[in-house]
């Protein structure tokens, strides 16, 4: 399943793996690992692909979460909660959404990532 969260082009695989290609690489991504925030520089994509590891940077995505011509907007294919404009999509146990305050959030396999502002956060 392919969709966009703002300027991120994202996909959810049949196994619940979630990844997003960032239109502009994030200068830094903070990942919560063993109770500490660990910063990772120059992040072009974010991935959740394991129950054992938090959401993390994906440096070898090579646009794998993006369809030719770009992904459809989440609002075009998503369900709407009661808090317009909160849109969400669920597939293979993963959920991604744009919240009422404009935050992009995805969760799967007991982990997640979010962004509001310039720095994405993985947990």
Q: What is the pTM of this model?
A: 0.91
Half-sphere exposure in the Cβ direction for 6 (13 Å, CA): 19
Query: pLDDT over 70 for what percent of the chain?
Result: 94
Provide the domain limits for residue 50.
2-122
Residue with token string 């720095």: 119
Q: Give the DSSP H/E element, type plus range, for residue 29.
A: strand 18-33
Distances (CA, A) of 59 to 78, 97, 101, 103: 28, 23, 28, 23
| Whole-number Cα distances in Å, 105 to 8, 14, 68, 98 | 11, 19, 23, 6
pLDDT at residue 7 is higher than 80: yes
Instruction: Report residue 13 as tokens.
Output: 């695989």
pLDDT tens digit string along 52-71?
A: 999 999 999 999 999 999 99
Residue 82 reports pLDDT greater than 70: no
- Asked if the model's pLDDT at residue 51 lies above 80, the reply is yes
Residue 84 has pLDDT above 60, yes or no: no
- Count of domains for the chain: 1
C-alpha span between 80 and 88 (Å, rounded): 6
Residue 75 is encoded by which pair of tokens?
A: 């609002």
Residue 60: count of CB within 10 angstroms of its CB: 9
Identify the band that residue 100 occupies on the pLDDT scale cut at 50, 70 and 90.
confident
In this predicted structure, the answer to whether residue 116 has a pLDDT above a threshold of 90 is no
For residue 97, pLDDT over 60 is answered with yes
Look at residues 117, 119, 111 and name the one whose alpha carbon lies nearest to residue 48.
111
């Amino acid at each position: 399943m392919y969709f966009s969260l703002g300027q991120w082009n994202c996909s959810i695989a049949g196994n619940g793996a979630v990844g997003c290609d960032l239109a502009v690489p994030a200068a830094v991504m903070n990942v919560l690992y063993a109770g500490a925030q660990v910063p990772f520089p120059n992040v072009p994509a974010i991935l959740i692909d394991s129950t054992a590891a938090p959401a993390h940077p994906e440096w070898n995505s090579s646009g794998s979460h993006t369809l030719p011509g770009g992904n459809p907007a989440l609002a075009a294919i998503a369900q709407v909660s009661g808090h317009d404009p909160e849109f969400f999509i669920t597939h293979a146990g993963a959920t991604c959404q744009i919240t009422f305050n404009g935050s992009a959030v995805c969760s799967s396999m007991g982990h997640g990532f979010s962004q509001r502002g310039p720095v994405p956060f993985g947990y």
